[in-house]
Structure 1
Amino acid sequence: MTTDLVAAVDIGGTKIAGALVDADGVLLHRVQRPTPAREPAEGVMRALTGVLTALTEHAAWERVVAVGIGSAGPVDARLGTVSPVNIPGWRDFPLVDGVRGTVGGLPVTLVGDGAAIAAGEHWRGAARDRANALCMVVSTGVGGGLILDGRLRPGPTGNAGHIGHISVDFNGDLCPCGGRGCVERIASGTNIARYALAAGWRPEPEDGDATAAGVARAAARGNPVAVEAFERSAHALAAGIAATATLVELETVVVGGGVSLSGEVLFGPLRRALGAYATLPFVRSIEVVPAQLGADAGLVGAAAACWSDAATFLAHGAAGN
């Protein structure tokens, strides 16, 4: 029997996506369900099981060698548990055990969603030829993962690179994570919109879009409050990036997620602000580039993390062939 696919799952606060992915990173079949994030733990697990079941019913399932999961975090890859900030019902939830109830004896690899995106962009995206990169997602939250010395470095629990919860304002607003002044609390799409609305910005009557996308359009037209909201976000991101680069020496920062679709409204002030924060000689030349994988980054990355787990893959593959 040929075993040349992995099943990838991307779990976020708004959607749960799954796909069958080949060794070239091609998504052969995909499934998606809304995340019932406000339901109790069992309700969220039912949605995930629905995605997994739909994958197992595909004709190509018999070719699947392992399962990779990228989940909103924090996660604990050692214990197979997750506690996503944006899924309140899951606290120390035994995700891997729950998944095994559907996929049987297949090996399961769990990483945080930021690490998954980093793995995906390094495998098939904007960080493909980079040995040292931070890959970020700026959306309803801010996450990240690290590629160091050419390899994904998720850390012992799968959370390394979680830049969204670096504090850049010691006296800042309380973050849902429990910290203060976190990058996410300032720079996420949700908080860009929150800041702009509190400062008096209002969406155009014809579109009524009060999200970060609406703020971005207003900033592109020169609305001063909208511009300020993105400048503030850019400074928080730049401070977090500079701190990370100072610790681990980065060549490249890849930025994806919905807010990155704002283009130069975000990237222009981000590059300028980074010049003010990344001042030491070994961090001055960091390049900042947009992600390439779009909405598929989490799935491609979950597959990449799974394929890279060589010991598990080879052991199972040898048994299955």
Structure 2
Amino acid sequence: MTSILVPRPAEALLETGGGAPDAPVLAIDIGGTKLAAAVVEPGGRVAVYDRVPTPNEPSMDGEALWRTLAAMLEKLLAEAGEPALAGVGVGCGGPMTWPDAHVSPLNIPAWRGFPLRERLRETYPGLPVRVHNDAICLAIGEHWRGAGRGRGNMLGMVVSTGVGGGLILDGRLIDGASGNAGHIGHIVVDPDGPSCECGGRGCLEAIARGPGLVNWACEQGWQGTTGVALADDARRGHPVAQAAMRRAGRALGLAIASATHLCDLEVVAIGGGISQAGALLFEPLEETLRTYARMDFARRVSVVPAALGQTSGLVGAAALIFEPEKYWSAD
């Protein structure tokens, strides 16, 4: 295990005239594309930020991936001046056992049942460590400081290597029986659609996630390898690339219409790499949503890009420590 210089717990601030509410949080965002971390201040400002690609070589094992993450955190905290911390908040791809956070992200094969929360507690003794799904942390971040601020009922979504979501109702995070409430990526939008890594068929994630879009486009004759290239070609008018984005937007619109009818949502905030395609994705999404969201109350929902951009999940992970009365029910 990589050795990390451990910052003082926030309790130490009391001895120097400070207080835990003024201490920052170490926030971590673990996904299939990137490992990101930040030192986040109590108001939600990201003070120091770093990211590295998620290693996904076939030979990568869980301990090697942990060492990559630990080294990034060590570097980040050194750059921040080894601040006293209020705690460690983490968003990680799922599934996981919650709240103990033995994580098995579908898009990170090196971790299967990896004891993430336990490892972080060993690394940062004396600090609270709270881990939730990465899409849930995006939803928290957008509700706390982003597009859902001041709204009581919202869905936050990640559309990237996978598709996930988090649900806020009546101003509080809804965890569900196992911590997985809001997981919109596995709503079935096409029963005859492609198989999903969850074992199902026709899930939103199987259709709208980046690798799924790339695979579908390649089957239709597009020659490329990444979601970024696919979006770029769609902007340039490539017919297959544009069709792929319409396909994803339609699937998202169908899923959001269902979720809105079920949960009476006010706003849906969408982040993640694929969401950066902009109108190519949001226009077919909006058209489909308005076709299928027919109840009067459902027509009022607004769907917007995540206001905090790529830092939404980090800000939400920090809020697990800063605002537990709204966003953390496990301790």
TM-score when normalising by structure 2: 0.86
- Tell me the amino acid that sits aligned with residue 169 of structure 2: L
Match of residue 279 from structure 2: 264
Counterparts of 2:103 and 2:225 in 1: how far apart (Å)?
31
Q: CA deviation at 1:265?
A: 0.8
Q: Which runs of 5+ in 2 are unaligned?
A: 1-12
Counterparts of 1:57 and 1:12 in 2: how far apart (Å)?
23
Match of residue 223 from structure 1: 238
- Give yes or no for the alignment of 1:20 onto 2:39: yes
Match of 1:236 among 251, 256, 263: 251
Counterparts of 1:36 and 1:227 in 2: how far apart (Å)?
30
Contact 2:155 2:182 in 1 (8 A): yes
- Tell me the amino acid that sits aligned with residue 116 of structure 2: L
Q: Relative to structure 2, which stretch is displaced further, 75-84 or 155-164?
A: 155-164
- Give yes or no for the alignment of 1:30 onto 2:49: yes
Counterparts of 1:125 and 1:241 in 2: how far apart (Å)?
19
Match of residue 206 from structure 1: none
Q: CA deviation at 1:186?
A: 0.5
Q: CA deviation at 1:91?
A: 1.6
- Give yes or no for the alignment of 1:87 onto 2:108: yes
- Tell me the amino acid that sits aligned with residue 222 of structure 2: W
For residues 237 and 311 of structure 1, do their structure 2 counterparts lie closer, same or farther at Cα, with a shift above 3 Å needed? Answer: closer
Counterparts of 2:79 and 2:235 in 1: how far apart (Å)?
45
Counterparts of 1:119 and 1:311 in 2: how far apart (Å)?
9
Match of residue 260 from structure 2: 245
Q: Relative to structure 2, which stretch is displaced further, 152-161 or 171-180?
A: 152-161
Counterparts of 1:92 and 1:201 in 2: how far apart (Å)?
37
- Give yes or no for the alignment of 1:188 onto 2:209: yes
* 2:200 partner SS: coil
Q: In angstroms, what is the RMSD of aligned CA positions?
A: 2.3
Q: Relative to structure 2, which stretch is displaced further, 101-110 or 146-155?
A: 146-155
Q: CA deviation digits over 1:185-204, x for unaligned, max 9?
A: 101122222212211233xx
For residues 119 and 312 of structure 1, do their structure 2 counterparts lie closer, same or farther at Cα, with a shift above 3 Å needed? Answer: closer
Q: Which runs of 5+ in 1 are unaligned?
A: 203-208, 314-321
Counterparts of 1:235 and 1:312 in 2: how far apart (Å)?
31
TM-score when normalising by structure 1: 0.89
- Give yes or no for the alignment of 1:283 onto 2:298: yes
Contact 2:172 2:327 in 1 (8 A): no
Identity of aligned residues (%): 47
Q: CA deviation at 1:216?
A: 2.6
- Tell me the amino acid that sits aligned with residue 198 of structure 1: E
Match of residue 6 from structure 2: none
Match of residue 197 from structure 1: 218
Q: CA deviation at 1:146?
A: 1.2
Q: CA deviation digits over 1:133-192, x for unaligned, max 9?
A: 111111121111112112222335432212112222223222111111110110112222
For residues 24 and 57 of structure 1, do their structure 2 counterparts lie closer, same or farther at Cα, with a shift above 3 Å needed? Answer: same
* 2:136 partner SS: helix
Q: CA deviation at 1:62?
A: 4.5
Contact 1:168 1:182 in 2 (8 A): yes
Contact 2:37 2:51 in 1 (8 A): yes
Counterparts of 2:82 and 2:45 in 1: how far apart (Å)?
15
